Amino acid sequence: MHTFLEETIQYLTKKHGSLSQLTIILPSKRAGGFLLNHLKNQALHTSFAPKIISIETFIETVSDLNIIDPTALLFKSYETYLTLDSIPEKESFDTYSSWATSLLGDFNEIDRYLLDTHSFFNYLNDIQDLNHWYLREDKTPLIEKYLAFWNSLQEFYKTLKDTLLKDHQGYQGLVYRKAAEDISHYMEANKATKHVFIGFNALNTAEQHILQELLELDHNEVIWDTDSYFFEDATHSASLFLRDYKNNWKYYQKNSFTSVASNFIKPKAFSFVGVQKNIGQVKYVGNLLATYTKEQLAHTAIILADENLLLPLLHSLPENVDQVNITMGVALKTMPFATFFEILFSVKAKPAGSYYYKDVQSILSHPFISNTMASAGAMLAQIKKENITHSTQEYLLSISDPKDHEILKLLFQDWAQDSGMAISCCNTLLQRASSRNLSAIEEVSVSHLQEVFLKIAALNDSYTYLTTLKTVQLLYRELIANTTLDFKGEAYQGLQIMGVLESRVLDFKNIIMTSVNEGTLPSGKSNASFITYDLKKQYNLPSFSEKDAIYTYHFTHLLQRVETATLLYNTHTEGLNTGEKSRFLLQLEVAKHPNHTITHTTVSPKITMGQKTLARIEKTPKILERLQEIASGSFSPSSLTSYIRNPIDFYFQKVLRIKEHQEVEETVAASTLGTIVHDTLEVLYTPFVSKVLSVGNLESIYPKIAAQVTTQFIK
């Protein structure tokens, strides 16, 4: 099998001879690494490599702008928001950040598709006015405020744009718009440079403009990665965008649309496997890989449509997988140490003074703390024993080892809604953790968390409105969601594990894809936007149908040159998962090519049915001795009931003295109330054992009942 990148190198070498004068632009840095590796493998002699960059790097070069960090953009946009005269009542940063991400995403889309912003925002304002036309005479202050927000969007956009450009920064869409505006200047300065764009599909309007301008110079070129099976089918969405470029680009009115291969119709074996639950999928993958030879593993890629399966998959890899390259990172937010600070912030957000026992339990039992504090387990046991529902810092210090007092003070001191104190305490906790013996992944987690809190501290110093714990928590959540832990390995050897987007322009002989379910592949509709569907259609912005076409392209691209493909889907119906296989699998079935074979398998866990036997415990002399000991006291009604209903329970609880798991009781449980009544009656009636009760005896007991019940409650 020849990959697309190998074929591209052969084509370029034949056309240009030496590739050192070329600037090659690819969809991602990962694709550039694979291209360079193929160049090394095909090189017959020492030569200079071409300049290989990602499209994002190229766009930054053309625009002379740097793409701003999403968190920095959020703060910078809030500063802009505060300056807007058209919005008299400003919202707090906490409230602003809850909707600003969607708005900034819309600004990004508007710029990527080069919309006339004046026309667009006026249209958007008119829609809102029409929606509220019946309130023209008696608009409430809330409606007035709502409409003022929509009327301010154009001013907001323009002010933010000017502020960012002044600092030579921009969000991705703004950088693309600036590059589209400046492409003629770039071409003038780089007339002799030969640009080759490789493996692109869904281009935004800015990218289309840039590529069409560059194609006006004959030495620039675009090499597409598509297959005639999809490209020539006018109804197939896999080549929706490429057919549009062929029909509408001025360049293709004079030049042929080349680089359309015919690989999909070659013999292929597809296996559709239905497996219950996500964990079942990764276990099946592990069993399948165990049957592969080393040669097969070297030409195999596992594609995770749901990237949350990465860690379970790594734990399921068999022993014969000795080389693996993971092109995707693990989100820091999924790491146990990262979840600890989420718990801590949630606890600290509650009123100070005392701590609910479940909050104390969640903090002290977390691995981040339990592995540091020697007395954590003993403290939790003491809280359960004393049935303490709310604990103060003083109480927690009193039941702990003095060696743990410092860390307890950090955890349970009153932060008084002081963001600076919160950040300082978290940094100190991380410093203490870094001095312990940690596993490799824990060390990396601590290191990244320290970087996160350093960023928060820097933002806290730079901006005055980062004042509440809620703001710090929101910022923390965003930073850990955008931070990944990267794996190190042999990049181009052994088994490859990647997400769908990382597979662009890459080809493999064998692929195993998980979570090929409707709602995951494609991902379904998303409404995180202020722009309505009809407005998107009016201005040719991508909607869910275009996004589905992108997923279709990625899926079919993976199958173009493959020889065997194992496609797994989750059959379990739970929550948002319908257990429905993806439409892509149904398309392969309905439009099955004669050279393709499709097998269907449904896998379920292997359940071993053991023969049930009656449990028997011989009454040894020791057991009989213990029974005599119990009988010498007394049998409670509950113990006799236990013996009759289930003698095994009686044996464990009474003979072996194995107690049930003890929990803190917030309200008196029925069993506890029964014990209190039983013990109270026993104390009150003991003085009258072997006597005939009289009215006077009962009257003497009555005044003692309240005090004795209180005594038993305290016990």
What confidence tens digit (pLDDT) does each residue in 55-65 have? 999 999 999 99
Question: What percentage of residues in the chain have a pLDDT greater than 90?
Answer: 47
Lowest-confidence range among 76-85, 266-275, 576-585?
Answer: 576-585
Confidence of residue 389 (pLDDT cuts 50, 70, 90): confident
Instruction: Kindly report the backbone phi and psi dihedral angles of residue 326, in degrees, each rounded to the nearest multiple of 5, phi listed first.
Output: -110, 110
- pLDDT given at position 668: 64
Average pLDDT, the chain: 88
More confident residue, 612 or 50: 50
Lowest-confidence range among 27-31, 345-349, 642-646?
Answer: 642-646
- 704's CB contacts (< 8 A; 6+ apart) are 684
- pLDDT given at position 531: 87
Instruction: Give the distance, in angstroms, between the CA of residue 444 and the centroid of all CA atoms in the same chain.
Output: 18
Alpha-carbon distance 245 to 257, whole Å?
9
**Pairing between β-strand 495-499 and β-strand 300-304 as defined by DSSP bridges:** parallel
Average pLDDT over residues 258-269: 90
Alpha-carbon distance 431 to 566, whole Å?
46
- Concatenated DSSP letters of 601-660: EEE------PPP--------HHHHHHHHHHHHH---HHHHHHHHH-HHHHIIIIIS--PP
Average pLDDT over residues 231-240: 92
- pLDDT given at position 135: 56
CATH class of 4-64+175-261: alpha beta
Q: What is the total residue count of the chain? A: 715
Q: What angle do CA 274, 277, 280 make, to 5 degrees?
A: 75
CB 244 within 8 A of CB 272: no
What stretch of H or E contains 203? none
Lowest-confidence range among 184-193, 300-309, 318-327, 617-626?
Answer: 617-626
- pLDDT given at position 139: 63
End-to-end CA distance of the chain: 78
Q: How do the domains of the chain map onto residue ranges?
A: 4-64+175-261, 69-169, 268-329+488-603, 333-484, 608-658, 667-715
Average pLDDT over residues 344-349: 89
Alpha-carbon distance 30 to 411, whole Å?
42
Confidence of residue 136 (pLDDT cuts 50, 70, 90): low
- pLDDT given at position 350: 84
Confidence of residue 300 (pLDDT cuts 50, 70, 90): very high
Q: With a cut of 90, say whether residue 710 has pLDDT above it.
A: no
- pLDDT given at position 687: 84
CB 10 within 8 A of CB 464: no
Say yes or no: do domains 4-64+175-261 and 268-329+488-603 share a fold.
Answer: yes
- pLDDT given at position 173: 96
- 178's CB contacts (< 8 A; 6+ apart) are 63, 64, 65, 165, 170
Alpha-carbon distance 569 to 276, whole Å?
8
More confident residue, 558 or 489: 558
Confidence of residue 138 (pLDDT cuts 50, 70, 90): low
Average pLDDT over residues 486-491: 76
Average pLDDT over residues 637-652: 82
Average pLDDT over residues 117-134: 81
CB 161 within 8 A of CB 510: no
Instruction: Kindly report the backbone phi and psi dihedral angles of residue 45, in degrees, each rounded to the nearest multiple of 5, phi listed first.
Output: -155, 170
Q: With a cut of 70, say whether residue 189 has pLDDT above it.
A: yes
Confidence of residue 454 (pLDDT cuts 50, 70, 90): very high
- pLDDT given at position 102: 92
The structure tokens listed for 489 are: 């390995």
Alpha-carbon distance 472 to 423, whole Å?
8
Confidence of residue 665 (pLDDT cuts 50, 70, 90): low
Average pLDDT over residues 241-257: 92
- pLDDT given at position 517: 92
Could you read off the pLDDT of 597-627 as tens digits, one per residue?
999 999 987 777 777 777 788 888 888 888 8
CB 512 within 8 A of CB 288: yes
**Pairing between β-strand 390-391 and β-strand 355-356 as defined by DSSP bridges:** antiparallel
More confident residue, 225 or 625: 225
- pLDDT given at position 662: 61
Alpha-carbon distance 268 to 290, whole Å?
22
Confidence of residue 663 (pLDDT cuts 50, 70, 90): low
Average pLDDT over residues 126-138: 68
Q: What three-state secondary structure class fits 341?
A: helix
CATH number of the 268-329+488-603 domain = 3.40.50.300
- pLDDT given at position 39: 87
- 294's CB contacts (< 8 A; 6+ apart) are 320
What stretch of H or E contains 152? helix 141-166
Confidence of residue 656 (pLDDT cuts 50, 70, 90): confident
Alpha-carbon distance 385 to 357, whole Å?
12
Confidence of residue 470 (pLDDT cuts 50, 70, 90): confident
Query: What secondary structure, in 3-state letters, does 408-459 show?
Result: HHHHHCCCCCCHHHHHHHHHHHHHHHHCCCCCHHHHHHHHHHHHHHHHHHHH
More confident residue, 523 or 279: 279
- pLDDT given at position 163: 95
Q: With a cut of 80, say whether residue 158 has pLDDT above it.
A: yes
Confidence of residue 456 (pLDDT cuts 50, 70, 90): very high
Average pLDDT over residues 231-257: 92
Q: In the chain, count of helices (H) and strands (E)?
A: 33, 19
- pLDDT given at position 499: 92
- pLDDT given at position 575: 65
Average pLDDT over residues 381-407: 88
Report DSSP state, residue 402.
Answer: G
What stretch of H or E contains 367? helix 367-370
**Which residue in 268, 253, 277 sits closest to 604, CA to CA?**
277
Q: Where are the beta strands (DSSP E) in 43-129?
A: 51-54, 66-67
Average pLDDT over residues 224-231: 93
